[in-house]
Structure 1
Amino acid sequence: MQAFYADHFVLPLPEGHRFPMQKYRLLRDRLVAELPQVRMLEAPRATDGELALAHAPAYVAAVQDGSLDAAQQREIGFPWSPAMAERSRRSVGATVAACRAAWQEGIAANLAGGTHHASADRGGGFCVFNDLAVAARLMQAEHFRRHRRALKVLIVDLDVHQGNGTASIFARDDSVFTLSLHGEKNFPFRKVAGDLDVDLPDGCTDEAYLHALELALEAVEQRFEPGLVLYLAGADPHEGDRLGRLKLSYDGLEARDRRVLDWAWRRALPLAFAMGGGYGHDLASTVQVQFNTYRVAADYHARWRARPAPRAA
């Protein structure tokens, strides 16, 4: 299974910054050591033209040259540097590359990404560019160029925080369906309505979460027929997360991943996934959740290899 990484493009952060940047390298190290069926590839760099499919060109240019104003930079949550701009492009490029690989192999991954708080003309919540939105629009363009027909994309966002940026980008786009299960009282405190939002109470546990997910997938099936799935497999619903406020166990999160991947596999829908948030009190717990996602995904990749290839993009 192909997985695209960009953790070697180091984003310098001040001492004491609360974003756990090292989790990406820790995850890659564990995958290399323990899950050799995952093939590591360097993420390509998203171009200006690709980013402009979901973002205002003026915003893209301001990120690149560091001319964002102080308020915009605070909203993102990272100090600007050339490395921040480069890493943000690579994170988008990783999801694009994972989508292209998924068309050929059924499933592929971005070791980072899931930057769902970035909207068309601004970032937010540690998100600079929206990798899900750019990848969805680019896959639609490439599919139409090859097949002269539209591609519908389903975004399944299971980060604990609502994907307000993704919802705003696709608010008037019926070709992309945004599903989000998230903490009702968690960030962002002003939600942007997506196609299907499921608000969960603080302390939500495995059984209630998985039931809500099952009902949501049933609702999607009644309303939308996707040709591609983008999955945001956030680690932050875990009970050990300091920002999550939900109480899912390792087993519950693994069951979540298996349910989403099985839903796509049974419908022969190519799926690309990204990691989203994870802020464990013990960072090893975040890495464990993400590692478990890859273990499940590798199992479904093997199933794809045993069946006819998915339809080409």
Structure 2
Amino acid sequence: MANPRHVPVLLDRVVALLAPALDHDGAVLVDCTLGLGGHSEAVLERLGRARVVGVDRDPAALELAGARLAAYGDRFTGVQAVYDELPDVLAELGLDRVDAVLFDLGVSSMQLDVRERGFAYAEDAPLDMRMGSTGLTAAEVLNTYSHAELTRVLRDYGEEKFAKKIAGAVVREREKEPFTSSARLVELLYAEIPAPARRTGGHPAKRTFQALRMEVNDELAVLRRALPAALDAVGVGGRVVVEAYHSLEDRLVKQAFTAVTRSEVPPDLPFVPAGSEPPFKTVTRGAEKANAEEIAQNPRAASVRLRAVERVHLPSTGAAS
């Protein structure tokens, strides 16, 4: 296996957003997308009163991150799980509430950089793309989905305007020979996407590979379940911080955060009655982006959208907010 690189996006800003929630003894951060542990390491190093629960569905990531963070002893706990299983993870650890939850969505540096995982289109590799070890592979999606299903995946998850044309070519070509490797798919994409379109918007395979990865790992459905669980998990003063790299992901985050920070009091009411305040307040102004300097050093930062909210009170009934 190649030695993966790891460059955390907006690292300093993420730690700064987490810091107020973690500045007390016994503070707990759940890093729902541990990856190689870059964000977790920075928290453990800079915020000495906090401990971290690192969650990842990928056993290889947990092994590498665990070795990286071993020096912090029992301040770090690694858990293999999909992040929508957050309530179960906390229950097993005996945690009723935590102080912060972090999501750094999308594909990790490790998965992109390790050829055998099949996430990258720059070199030939098996079409796997699973973040864990179960479920359909990208090859199985390409070889078994109908023309309509492939079109939907490419259009909705990849925002690929040539989705129908590409899906038709995949269905036609798989009749000759099933898809097994990325090089053949990339070759098909070069053939199907018109030359003018190939000259803008980055690599012509980028959108298709993104779409396949999101379908294989059911990423939007998992996120849709995970966000309410994360908001539910934090106590007063607790923060939920999310880095999204895809417009559909960011839309889900924005909707979830708007729902818990919006007041239900009529706007013409001169005051907010006690108990009617929204349970969370917004910490970031809209979605924050990486600056040009960081993007130049780490191109993966170009599409990041960072949002954060903080809990200001618990629901009076004890129900989920």
TM-score by structure 2 length?
Answer: 0.39
Instruction: Give the TM-score taking structure 1 as reference length.
Output: 0.39
Which of structures 1 and 2 has the bigger CA Rg?
2
